[in-house]
């Protein structure tokens, strides 16, 4: 949830580090800090966005060529200068930036305090820098290795020592670190997007590995000091993927990228002649998939709602028994994981701690664990037995948009793949594939309504509460639409299965509590129309998202957003788009920071 960037080379470190931090800021943004090796070392931390740090750095930072920097999302200790990273040891020579959580920090802090170390922050991280100081005997890398052997918890970290100019030590366990190798310069970051501008030669550290970086070269060992040989790989994304271009916000850019994202998600995966999906990442486990009887989907937030959609999709297209579970609750359930159980972890970032913990638990119990992940090479992608990438491209906005749309596209393909080896006919398979291929142009049609949806948002953005309702395939979309409004516009919104409304939430309905009803003309249209009537009878205001040309709603609703027709299983991929736009425009009109909503972070690496 925090971001690290480190540099050693020939350029001015402050430029490289501040640029890197800005690219990582979407991961966490309540405070930040920088250390540059100079004589004396330069060390500054500020509260707030990276812009605050940048101002300080331009004013007084020296132009040293080695440094580390960090952007924080507070876990232990509130956002403050003292709690911001890098942290410093008692001698003022060692600087350390850390992502993750040190679980035994209280014990270590007690021991280190007893031996005379002075702590300046409330963070768990600070014990690391003092522990390294206490173990340092002239070899920084050895001290870091020894310290990490005494640590329980997770870390992605970068360490500098004033006595070792030019050298940066980085390490990882459970929190990503990627090295970037250039000509006479080396980089490290928690996310390759911070490096893409400088080099496309990257090396991903594995858990329990330590790397020593020097200008233009690196070496890797395990925590136990066994040498590791690993070549650099070429980064596939270019730096432009991290640019906003002419869009005012990344979220809007990413909403508008959805037609291409769906095209990319489908590319090479549609087999018309067989009426089936082709997913190369699942070929190695085809036999076990064939034997599968039980599917459990684990994920969080928006990815959880994609999982809820998948429950309907798999139940429609296969004979599997399907459960969707919040990853954070998975460990509390006594699920009967058998040989023929498949667990599917869905995650945009591939780093979500709860999802990772759930998949490790499922592996421990012998299930086949699959992943549907966006970030290539991420921890979840590497720890699952097999999986599929969603190919949404880098998503910077904290609110998931294109990753959700690609997730539900690919989940449909996965269900189709498994369904076609069971009881789905060629004709049914081919119909779904044709429908999938119509989606990009249909999304383009919906995006043309962005201005009209902004006007609708103007009419509704000052309401304090919203109800979102949908049935069957549209129920997860009601949940997702409500989450979007909550997280970026800070408007309280409840997503409900429309049929549940009369079991409680209807008590809330009055003219000040509008409802957004998702009512495409599908198999549950009549039933949800009755729910709309119940709301109308209580003077509730209603915005309906329905299929083009549906005039039957008439005066039953106040406002209508139309989306094109497609197969009813695929309609969620269309109906979610106006809900994203509605939330986006409400947030902008309310003056919210759309790409960096308060208290949130893009990748949630704490449980
Ligand atoms: C969605 O807009 C949120 N930012 C959040 O709910 C997110 O989907 C959740 O944290 C899961 O993240 P993941 O997909 O990276 O695992």
Residue range 316-341, pLDDT digits in tens: 999 999 999 999 999 888 877 777 89
Share of the chain above pLDDT 70, in %: 99
Establish whether 2 is a catalytic residue.
yes
Of 310, 330, 347, 348, the one to substitute when testing ligand 1's pocket (max ligand atoms within 8 A of C-beta) is: 348
CA 602 to ligand 1 centroid distance, Å? 7
Residue identifier of the C-alpha nearest atom 16 of ligand 1: 347
Residue identifier of the C-alpha nearest atom 2 of ligand 1: 399
Residue 100 and residue 4: Cα distance in Å, rounded?
Answer: 11
Are 394 and 406 in contact, with CB atoms under 8 Å apart? no
Q: Which two tokens stand for residue 417?
A: 């793949």
CA 175 to ligand 1 centroid distance, Å? 16
CA 297 to ligand 1 centroid distance, Å? 15
Residue for token pair 């000091």: 225
Of 250, 300, 380, 399, the one to substitute when testing ligand 1's pocket (max ligand atoms within 8 A of C-beta) is: 300
Residue identifier of the C-alpha nearest atom 10 of ligand 1: 301
Torsion of the alpha carbons at 332, 338, 342 and 345, rounded to the nearest 10: 20
For the CA of 602, the closest atom of ligand 1 is 4
The radius of gyration computed from the CA coordinates of the chain, to the nearest angstrom, equals: 25
Question: How many Cα neighbours within 13 Å face the side chain of 346?
Answer: 32
Does a cis peptide bond (omega within 30 degrees of 0) precede residue 40? Answer: yes
- Tell me what the mean pLDDT of segment 479-503 comes to: 96
CA 214 to ligand 1 centroid distance, Å? 35
State the DSSP code for 280.
G
Task: Select from 159, 165, 171 the least CA-distant residue to 221.
Answer: 171
Q: Which two tokens stand for residue 555?
A: 């005066």
pLDDT at 214 over 90: yes
CA 350 to ligand 1 centroid distance, Å? 10
Q: Which two tokens stand for residue 558?
A: 């106040």
Task: Select from 346, 290, 355, 358 the least CA-distant residue to 319.
Answer: 290
Residue for token pair 């009209």: 452
Helix axes 450-460, 571-589, angle to 10 degrees: 60
Give the pLDDT score at 542: 97
Q: Which two tokens stand for residue 420?
A: 């076609």
Task: Select from 207, 214, 247 the least CA-distant residue to 228.
Answer: 207
CA 353 to ligand 1 centroid distance, Å? 11
Sheet strands (E) in 329-405: 341-347, 368-373, 386-389
For the CA of 401, the closest atom of ligand 1 is 2
Q: Which amino acids bring their CB within 6 angstroms of ligand 1?
A: 300-303, 347-349, 352, 355, 398-400, 487, 603-604
Residue 48 and residue 591: Cα distance in Å, rounded?
Answer: 18
- Tell me what the mean pLDDT of segment 17-24 comes to: 91
pLDDT per residue as tens digits for the range 392-431: 998 989 899 999 999 999 999 999 999 999 889 999 999 9
Lowest mean pLDDT among 40-54, 275-289, 334-348, 354-368: 334-348
Distances (CA, A) of 494 to 217, 298, 465, 475, 552: 52, 22, 8, 12, 26
Alpha helices in 86-183, H assignment, sequence order: 105-114, 126-135, 140-149
pLDDT per residue as tens digits for the range 288-310: 999 999 999 999 999 999 999 99
CA 407 to ligand 1 centroid distance, Å? 12
Residue identifier of the C-alpha nearest atom 6 of ligand 1: 301
Helix axes 105-114, 126-135, angle to 10 degrees: 50
Coil/strand/helix, residue 66? strand
pLDDT per residue as tens digits for the range 461-472: 999 999 999 999
pLDDT at 386 over 70: yes
State the DSSP code for 177.
-
Give the pLDDT score at 1: 65
CA 8 to ligand 1 centroid distance, Å? 33
Give the pLDDT score at 591: 96
Q: Which two tokens stand for residue 480?
A: 């997702």
pLDDT per residue as tens digits for the range 525-555: 999 999 999 999 999 999 999 999 998 998 8
For the CA of 352, the closest atom of ligand 1 is 16
Give the pLDDT score at 20: 93
Residue 511 and residue 518: Cα distance in Å, rounded?
Answer: 19
SS3 annotation, 494-509:
EEEEHHHHHHCHHHHC
Residue 517 and residue 494: Cα distance in Å, rounded?
Answer: 12
Are 324 and 304 in contact, with CB atoms under 8 Å apart? yes
Task: Select from 323, 26, 399, 403 the least CA-distant residue to 190.
Answer: 26
First to last CA, the chain: 11
User: Phi and psi for 362 in degrees, rounded to 5?
Assistant: -65, -40
**How many C-beta atoms surround the C-beta of residue 583 within 10 A?**
32
For the CA of 380, the closest atom of ligand 1 is 16
For the CA of 403, the closest atom of ligand 1 is 14
Question: How many Cα neighbours within 13 Å face the side chain of 267?
Answer: 11
Give the pLDDT score at 49: 86
pLDDT at 311 over 90: yes
Establish whether 486 is a catalytic residue.
no
Confidence of residue 188 (pLDDT cuts 50, 70, 90): very high
Bridge partners (DSSP) of residue 516 are: 468, 543
pLDDT at 62 over 70: yes
Bridge partners (DSSP) of residue 179 are: 188, 203
Of 394, 604, 606, 607, the one to substitute when testing ligand 1's pocket (max ligand atoms within 8 A of C-beta) is: 604
pTM above 0.85, yes or no: no
> What is the chain's mean pLDDT, rounded?
93
Residue identifier of the C-alpha nearest atom 7 of ligand 1: 301
For the CA of 300, the closest atom of ligand 1 is 11
Of 298, 303, 398, the one to substitute when testing ligand 1's pocket (max ligand atoms within 8 A of C-beta) is: 303
Residue 26 and residue 196: Cα distance in Å, rounded?
Answer: 16
CA 346 to ligand 1 centroid distance, Å? 10
Give the pLDDT score at 282: 95
- Tell me what the mean pLDDT of segment 73-77 comes to: 75
- Tell me what the mean pLDDT of segment 42-62 comes to: 91
Diameter of the chain by CA atoms?
79
Residue 162 and residue 38: Cα distance in Å, rounded?
Answer: 8
pLDDT at 93 over 80: yes
pLDDT per residue as tens digits for the range 109-165: 999 999 999 999 999 999 999 999 999 999 999 999 999 999 999 899 999 999 999
pLDDT at 498 over 70: yes
- Tell me what the mean pLDDT of segment 576-587 comes to: 98
Catalytic residue among 49, 253, 402, 602: 602
Residue 542 and residue 466: Cα distance in Å, rounded?
Answer: 10
pLDDT at 237 over 80: no
Residue 586 and residue 594: Cα distance in Å, rounded?
Answer: 10
CA 400 to ligand 1 centroid distance, Å? 6
Give the pLDDT score at 513: 95
Are 238 and 382 in contact, with CB atoms under 8 Å apart? no
Q: Which two tokens stand for residue 163?
A: 């006595």
Catalytic residue among 2, 300, 461, 592: 2
Are 244 and 251 in contact, with CB atoms under 8 Å apart? no
Burial class (CB in 10 A: 0-12, 13-18, 19+), 504: exposed
Of 28, 191, 400, the one to substitute when testing ligand 1's pocket (max ligand atoms within 8 A of C-beta) is: 400
Alpha helices in 448-598, H assignment, sequence order: 450-460, 475-489, 525-536, 571-589
- Tell me what the mean pLDDT of segment 52-61 comes to: 91
Residue identifier of the C-alpha nearest atom 5 of ligand 1: 301
Residue identifier of the C-alpha nearest atom 4 of ligand 1: 399
CA triplet 10, 14, 16: central angle to 5 degrees?
Answer: 65
């Amino acid at each position: 949830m925090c971001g690290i960037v480190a540099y050693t080379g020939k350029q001015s470190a402050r430029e490289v580090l501040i640029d890197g931090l800005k690219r990582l800021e979407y991961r966490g943004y309540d405070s930040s800090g920088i250390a540059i090796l100079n004589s004396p070392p330069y060390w500054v931390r500020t509260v707030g966005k990276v812009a605050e740090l940048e101002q300080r750095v331009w004013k007084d930072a020296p132009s040293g060529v080695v440094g580390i920097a960090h952007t924080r999302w507070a876990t232990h200790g509130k956002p403050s200068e003292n709690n911001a990273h890098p942290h410093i040891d008692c001698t003022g020579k060692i600087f350390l930036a850390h992502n993750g959580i040190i679980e035994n920090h209280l014990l270590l802090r007690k021991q280190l305090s007893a031996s005379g170390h002075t702590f300046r922050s409330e963070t768990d991280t600070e014990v690391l820098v003092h522990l390294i100081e206490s173990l340092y005997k002239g070899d920084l890398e050895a001290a870091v290795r020894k310290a990490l052997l005494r640590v329980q918890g997770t870390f992605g970290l970068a360490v500098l020592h004033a006595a070792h100019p030019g050298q940066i030590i980085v390490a990882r366990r459970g929190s990503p670190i990627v090295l970037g190798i250039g000509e006479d310069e080396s980089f490290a970051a928690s996310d390759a997007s911070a490096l893409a501008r400088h080099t496309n030669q990257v090396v991903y550290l594995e858990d329990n590995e330590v790397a020593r970086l020097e200008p233009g070269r690196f070496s890797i060992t395990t925590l136990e000091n066994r040498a590791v040989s690993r070549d650099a790989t070429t980064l596939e994304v270019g730096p432009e993927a991290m640019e906003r271009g002419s869009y005012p916000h990344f979220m809007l850019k990413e909403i508008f990228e959805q037609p291409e994202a769906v095209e990319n998600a489908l590319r090479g995966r549609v087999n018309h002649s067989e009426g089936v999906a082709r997913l190369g990442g699942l070929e190695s486990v085809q036999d076990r998939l064939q034997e599968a009887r039980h599917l459990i989907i684990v994920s969080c937030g928006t990815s959880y709602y994609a999982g809820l959609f998948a429950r309907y999709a798999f139940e429609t297209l296969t004979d599997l028994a399907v459960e969707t579970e919040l990853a954070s609750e998975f460990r509390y359930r006594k699920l009967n994981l058998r040989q023929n159980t498949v667990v599917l972890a869905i995650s945009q970032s591939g780093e979500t701690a709860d999802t990772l913990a759930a998949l490790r638990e499922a592996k421990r119990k012998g299930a086949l664990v699959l992943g549907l992940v966006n970030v290539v090479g991420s921890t979840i992608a590497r720890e699952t037995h097999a999986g599929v990438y969603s190919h949404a491209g880098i998503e910077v906005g904290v609110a998931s948009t294109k990753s959700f749309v690609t997730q539900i596209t690919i989940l449909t393909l996965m269900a189709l793949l498994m369904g076609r080896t069971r009881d789905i006919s060629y004709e049914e398979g081919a119909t779904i594939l044709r429908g999938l291929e119509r989606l990009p142009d249909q999304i383009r049609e919906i995006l043309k309504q962005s201005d009209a949806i902004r006007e609708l948002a103007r009419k509704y953005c000052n309401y304090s509460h919203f109800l979102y309702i949908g049935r069957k395939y549209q129920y997860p979309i009601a949940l997702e639409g409500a989450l979007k409004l909550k997280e970026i516009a800070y408007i309280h919104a409840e997503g409900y299965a429309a049929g549940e409304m009369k079991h409680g939430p209807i008590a809330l309905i009055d003219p000040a509590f509008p409802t957004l009803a998702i009512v495409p003309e599908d198999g549950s249209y009549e039933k949800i129309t009755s729910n709309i009537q119940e709301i109308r009878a209580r003077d509730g205001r209603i915005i309906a998202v329905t299929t083009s040309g549906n005039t039957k709603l008439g005066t039953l609703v106040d406002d209508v957003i139309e989306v094109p027709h497609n197969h009813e299983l695929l309609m969620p991929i269309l109906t979610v788009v106006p809900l994203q736009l509605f939330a986006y425009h409400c947030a902008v009109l309310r003056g919210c920071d759309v790409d960096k909503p308060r208290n949130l972070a893009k990748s949630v690496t704490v449980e």
